[in-house]
Structure 1
Amino acid sequence: MKKMGDGVFLVYLKTSFLTCVNKEDLIKTHKMYQFRRNIDYTYLDEVYGGERDIISMMMGVFLSDTVPSWESVAPLLANQNFVTAGQVVHRIKPSFTMIGLQDFHEPVQALEHALKQGAATSVILDLHKLITEELSQVVPQIEAYLAEEA
Structure 2
Amino acid sequence: MEAWLIWLIFAVVLGIAEIFTLTAALGLLGGAALITAGSAAIGLPLPAQLVVFTVAATAGVLLVRPIATRHMFRPQLQRFGVDALIGKSAYVVQEVTGREGRVRVDGEEWTARAYDDAVVIPRGAIVDVMQISGSTAIVYPRE
Higher helix share: 1
Name which structure has the greater RCO, CA cutoff 8 Å, separation 6+: 1
Indicate the structure with greater strand content.
2
Same-fold status (TM-score > 0.5): no
Task: Give the number of the structure whose alpha-carbon radius of gyration is greater.
Answer: 2
Taking structure 2 as the reference length, the TM-score comes to: 0.31
